[in-house]
Chain A
Amino acid sequence: MSETVLQYVVVPAMQIAVVVGVLLGCVAYLVLLERKVIAFMQVRLGPRRVGPHGLLQPIADILKLLLKEDIVPARADRLVFYLAPVILLLPALVAFAVVPFSGTPFRVLGVEVRPWITDINVGLVYLLAISSLGVYGVVMAGWASNSKYPLLGSLRSAAQMVSYEIPLGLSVVSILMLAQTASLVGIVRAQDEAGSWFAFWLPYPQIVGLFLYFVSAIAETNRAPFDLPEAETELVAGFHTEYSGMKFAFFFLAEYANMILVACIVTVLFLGGWLPVTLGIPGLKGPLSNFVPSFGDGGAALTGFLWFGIKVFVVLYVYLWIRATFPRYRYDQLMRLGWKWLIPLGLAHVIGTGIVLLFAF
């Protein structure tokens, strides 16, 4: 009994605590990273006053948001108003339950720990389903604010998020076809067996799929260049206008947690997850998979996590890079892009992958 309790309750509980804790810390520092990276691209320095090089800035931000006055609009729907940020944040956090952070299970104090919270065999479908729940939070936020502009902003945001779910799903279908499994760990293992990441998979590199997924994800997370519903220079200030203090912090956290989730998924699906960067050179895979062989499996797990972390960081950097560079789309152009360009492109990509699979194998 104690073995099962340990394996199915205690270890996952600790894993969840660690993942959520690290994730929230990462989200806070992602905010700082965004400010610094965009600042460097704009030939200026970012935050510098709070702590050396601004490293304590996220703590200052969190303290500020905690201590702010909590304003609820007069005739707002209180229950919905309080629930909306929660409903927006929870799916982002819950989706991390299936993300594999590393490849090798290792033993700690006699207990086997797997470097993922769980691995269900419909992991991909689970992910798509859970991330769609975030739309409810947006709509609820706009509705509960009882104010014209948040309502319009939230409806626009929700329509944008729902429309871009379709190209998102289509880009993932071809990965399903290549990996023949919907479990995320299985997908990375399939890339391991195939010898190259799916993004560079011959004879049909999934670059189009990667592009499609990434663009749809940027639209899903309401980031530039698709951030019209929440941009400051536009007329309608967006669904989180009426929020202040910790609830506003939740919206912020949700947005950045979604960004990190997208980066993790892109890494797992297209960029080989925890696999090392070998550039196809044979023989490099062994030494690069374990930088600390003395720890055995633990070392392999750590190294896998390191590679995973590097790839996630690169994807996040591209997110910030795009934000610093491009102007933003107008709302109707955004919707037109999603429906008229990305969906046909996704369909064509799926058909292309299917044809290649049929004739090449």
Chain B
Amino acid sequence: MLPLARAKDGFFKRLLLVDLAVGLWVTLKNQFRPHVTHEYPAERPELRPRFRGMPRLRDHPEVDGPLCVACNMCAVACPDFCITVVAETRPGGKGKQPRQFYIDYERCCLCGLCVDPCPTKPITAIYMSHDFELATDDRDQFMTDLPGLYEGQERKVYER
């Protein structure tokens, strides 16, 4: 337990307005410190590597096609039920790949729970990209399907 002292200045300090002067000095000192404003959108923000932007899919590094094996674990883990996966067999026969993969960005809360259970090794097929400029004019554009989710797609960048 730490009892607090309710400090008050002495009589002369109060008479000479020392408390006010000290406050004014702090504000003046801060005038000469560099500003902390990031002038967005002229200055792009520096995002950390683990930043959770919109979820996207990765291409398979060796074979043509997505890395995703359509196991549906991400859809099960999602708290907003925004992922829908329809599977098909891979050309070549081994394993599955998604025929359709929808993520509804109206519902996605960018929580990252879909990335945890993804079983592909060594990197996950679904990952949180650094895209955060997601505004559109049309609600229908929020439901993104497989081509829209690829890493190779152009990222939207706001200009002004």
Which residues in A have some Cβ–Cβ distance to B below 8 Å?
37, 40-45, 48, 321-322, 324-326
Tell whether B50 is near chain A: CB-to-CB under 8 Å. no
**Cross-chain pairs A/B with CB under 8 angstroms, 17 sampled:** A40-B31, A40-B35, A41-B28, A41-B30, A43-B30, A43-B33, A43-B34, A43-B36, A44-B36, A48-B39, A321-B24, A321-B27, A325-B23, A325-B24, A325-B26, A325-B27, A326-B20
Within the complex, the shortest CB–CB distance from B39 to chain A, in Å, comes to 7
- Known contacts A40-B35, A45-B35, A48-B39: does B23 contact A321 (CB below 8 Å)? no
Provide the bound-state CA to CA distance between A45 and B39, in Å: 9
Q: Is B37 an interface residue (CB 8 A)?
A: yes
8 smallest A-B Cβ distances: which pairs? A325-B27, A44-B37, A41-B31, A45-B37, A41-B27, A325-B23, A40-B31, A43-B36
How long is the Cα–Cα vector from A35 to B30 in the complex, in angstroms?
Answer: 15
What are the residues of chain B within 8 A of A41 when measuring CB–CB?
A: 27-28, 30-31
Distance (Å) between the CB of B38 and the closest chain A CB?
Answer: 10
CB distance from B18 to the nearest CB of A (A): 14
Complex contact A322–B35 (CB within 8 A): no
- Min CB–CB distance A13 → chain B (angstroms): 42
Q: Apart from A44-B35, A321-B24, A325-B23, what 13 extra A-B contacts exist at CB < 8 Å?
A: A37-B31, A41-B27, A41-B28, A41-B30, A43-B34, A44-B37, A45-B37, A48-B39, A324-B27, A325-B24, A325-B26, A326-B20, A326-B23
User: Which residues of chain B have a CB within 8 Å of any CB of chain A?
Assistant: 20, 23-24, 26-28, 30-31, 33-37, 39
Q: Name the A residues within 8 Å of B31 (CB-CB).
A: 37, 40-41
Q: Give the residues in chain B near A42, CB-CB below 8 Å.
A: 30
Distance in angstroms between the alpha carbons of A321 and B23 in the assembled complex? 10
* Chain B residues closer than 8 Å to A37, beta-carbon distance: 31
List chain A residues, Cβ under 8 A from B35.
40, 43-45
Chain A residues with CB under 8 Å of B39's CB are 45, 48
Bound Cα distance from A322 to B21, whole angstroms? 10
B9 to chain A minimum Cβ distance, whole angstroms, is 16
Across the interface, name the chain B residue whose C-beta is closest to A318. Answer: B24
Closest approach, in angstroms, between the C-beta of A272 and any C-beta of chain B?
A: 23
Chain A residues closer than 8 Å to B34, beta-carbon distance: 43
- Expressed in whole angstroms, the Cα–Cα distance for A326 and B28 within the complex equals 13
Q: Report A-chain residues with C-beta under 8 Å of the C-beta of B36.
A: 43-44
Tell me which residues across on chain A come within 8 A of B26, comparing CB atoms. 325
Task: Tell me the minimal C-beta distance from B32 to chain A in angstroms.
Answer: 8
B24 engages A322 (CB within 8 Å): yes
Q: Cβ of A325: which chain B residues have Cβ within 8 Å of it? A: 23-24, 26-27
**Cβ of A321 and Cβ of B20 under 8 Å apart?**
no
B31: min CB distance to chain A, Å: 5
Chain B residues positioned under 8 Å from A44 (CB to CB): 35-37
- Residues of chain A within 8 A (CB-CB) of B37 are 44-45
A323's nearest neighbour on chain B, judged by CB, is B27
- In the complex the two chains form, what is the Cα distance from A42 to B30 in whole Å? 7
Chain A, Cβ-Cβ closest to B24? A325
> A326 CA to B22 CA in the complex, in Å?
11
Q: Within the complex, what minimum Cβ distance (angstroms) separates B42 from chain A?
A: 10
CB neighbours of A48 from chain B (8 A) = 39
Distance A233 CA – B20 CA, assembled complex (angstroms): 23
CA gap between A57 and B20 in the complex, in Å: 32
B24 / chain A contacts, CB cutoff of 8 Å:
321-322, 325
Report the Cα distance A200→B26, complex, angstroms: 26
Contacts of B28 in A (CB 8 A): 41, 321
CA distance A332 to B154 in the complex (A): 61
* A317 → B minimal CB distance (Å): 10
Task: Find chain A residues with CB under 8 A from B20 CB.
Answer: 326
A-chain residues with CB within 8 Å of residue B23 when the two chains form the complex = 325-326
CB distance from B51 to the nearest CB of A (A): 24
CB distance from A151 to the nearest CB of B (A): 33
* Distance from B28 Cβ to chain A, minimum over Cβ atoms (Å): 7
A176: min CB distance to chain B, Å: 26
CA distance A37 to B35 in the complex (A): 12
Cα distance A324–B20 when bound, in Å?
12
CA distance A34 to B36 in the complex (A): 19
Residues in A neighbouring B33, C-beta threshold 8 A? 43
- CA of A45 to CA of B42 in the docked complex: distance in angstroms? 14
Pick the most buried of A37, A43, A45: most chain B CB atoms within 10 A of its CB. A43
Minimum CB–CB distance from B29 to chain A (whole Å) comes to 9
Per the bound structure, the CA–CA distance linking A43 and B26 in Å amounts to 12
